[in-house]
Amino acid sequence: MDLLKDLEYRGLINQVTDLEGLKKQLEEGQVTLYCGFDPTADSLHIGHLLTVLTLRRFQLSGNKPLALVGGATGLIGDPSGKKAERTLNEKEIVIQFSNRIREQLSRFLDFSGDNAAKTVNNYDWIGSLDVISFLRDVGKNFGLNYMLAKDSVESRIQTGISFTEFSYMILQSFDFLKLYENENCRLQIGGSDQWGNITAGLELIRKSTEGEAKAFGFTIPLVTKSDGTKFGKTEGGAIWLDEEKTSPYELYQFFINTDDRDVVKFLKYFTFLSHEEINVLEEEVRTAPEKRSAQRKLAEEVTQLVHGKEALSQAIRISEALFSGNIADLNANEIKQGFKDVPSFESSEKEISLLDLLVTAKISPSKRQGREDIQNGAIYVNGVRTTELDKVITTQDRIENQFTIVRRGKKKYFVIKYNN
């Protein structure tokens, strides 16, 4: 299918500097494009995924993607979408973040073949740039009024913006020029908040080539949710692509809980399902929303894409075990994922009465309440209802000798961790 038609169907075209010109360029042959990712943390988050997958869509259509890690711009801070100045990280930290992000990007792009992807780091050309050269060769191309009119700057005039962040636009523009010169890059893509930076880069290329260059800017909509809450945020914080920060199970649960009003949009954004497959799921949302087929498919596709088949299978196992109550079927690693945010208690006791454990671990507020909970069938050990007042928790009740899962009532889980 035609790339631009597919992007239009998926709602991924926000702004393009010259849509007809870009269409013609794509028809003429392979286009090299880039998107930048500043290393402000040691992992990309789910908000970055849309632009990463858009790079992948361009590559699957025969184009060559460049994933730029902002080793230099990450030291400066992008004012776009920010109400206040960033806290700047030390150079060593940014280098560490850059390496981690480069590794993550390699999961989604193909680095082999005729249109092999490539990672680049703007520290390679900005790091050695001296102040005089920067001001004379790059800065002279930017008028103050032009920069002040950009949304990323204008929105910060009242609250304040330092010269450091004010200069970010120039540095990103310089990135586009260097990639245009060194990699034959003709297209920059980014979120809609990057429009000002992208068009500034096009202006620098135009001035540097005396208007002869054919280069384009393309932005993708920022992801929004119908209920007004911010996409990619939960009570536990951001949804990260690093499984140590956000487990595959948590990622799976994040998408399986998608609102009916958003699920079709997210299927278009975050999956490579065909239009026909998405249209079928859209019809199911309309006629049988209680089945949540679209949400399940969305969660499966994204989890597998980010973490692989094995991690997806594990996420499904955890979900099914929690739904059915068959906790004993889970292994220790799955327990860590599924009960990451559950209250926990560390124990070194090889044997302890269930009643004493309920009180000591503050599962039940008192022995009297603990007895009532057990007798009323409100206590489950590893998914099994326990009504015996004289029940003793032993090493036989441990999962891989590391955990015992106690449930009180329908949903209140507690993790007993053993340190011996």
Residue ranges for the known binding site for ATP are 233
Of the residues 18, 42, 151, 193, only one is catalytic, namely 193
- 86 in active site: yes
Q: Which of 303, 314, 319, 297 is nearest to 252 (CA)?
A: 303
If residue 385 lies in a helix (H) or strand (E), which one and from where to where?
strand 384-385
Of the residues 230, 261, 350, 367, only one is catalytic, namely 230
- 104 in active site: no
- 360 in active site: no
- 193 in active site: yes
Here the tokens at position 242 are 């690093």
User: 207 with 142: CB under 8 angstroms?
Assistant: no
- Block residue for tokens 């042959």: 29
- 271 in active site: no
- 214 in active site: no
CA distance 389 to 385: 12
For the chain, how far is it from start to end, CA to CA, in angstroms? 59
Instruction: Count other C-beta atoms under 10 Å from residue 177's C-beta.
Output: 22
CA distance 290 to 284: 9
- 96 in active site: no
Instruction: Count other C-beta atoms under 10 Å from residue 227's C-beta.
Output: 8
Of the residues 56, 86, 340, 371, only one is catalytic, namely 86
Under DSSP, the state recorded for 45 is: B
Q: What angle, 0 to 180 degrees and rounded to 10, lies between the N-to-C axes of helices 46-60 and 293-307?
A: 80
CA distance 388 to 375: 7
- Block residue for tokens 């209920």: 227
- 229 in active site: no
Of the residues 25, 54, 104, 172, only one is catalytic, namely 172
Q: Name 387's Cβ contacts closer than 8 Å, sequence gap at least 6.
A: 374, 375, 377, 379
Q: Which residues are annotated binding-site positions?
A: 34, 168, 172, 233
Q: What angle, 0 to 180 degrees and rounded to 10, lies between the N-to-C axes of helices 293-307 and 248-256?
A: 150
Q: Which of 246, 255, 239, 241 is nearest to 300 (CA)?
A: 255
Of the residues 23, 56, 57, 82, only one is catalytic, namely 82
Coil, strand or helix at 337: helix
Here the tokens at position 297 are 């498919």
Burial 253-281 (b: 16+ CB within 10 A, else e): bbbbebeeebbbbbbbbbbebeeeebeeb
- 45 in active site: yes
Here the tokens at position 258 are 């998608």
Of the residues 57, 178, 233, 340, only one is catalytic, namely 233
Q: Which residues are annotated binding-site positions for L-tyrosine?
A: 34, 168, 172
Of the residues 10, 25, 32, 48, only one is catalytic, namely 48
Of the residues 18, 23, 30, 45, only one is catalytic, namely 45
- 172 in active site: yes
Q: Hey, which residues are catalytic here?
A: 40, 45, 48, 82, 86, 172, 193, 230, 233-234
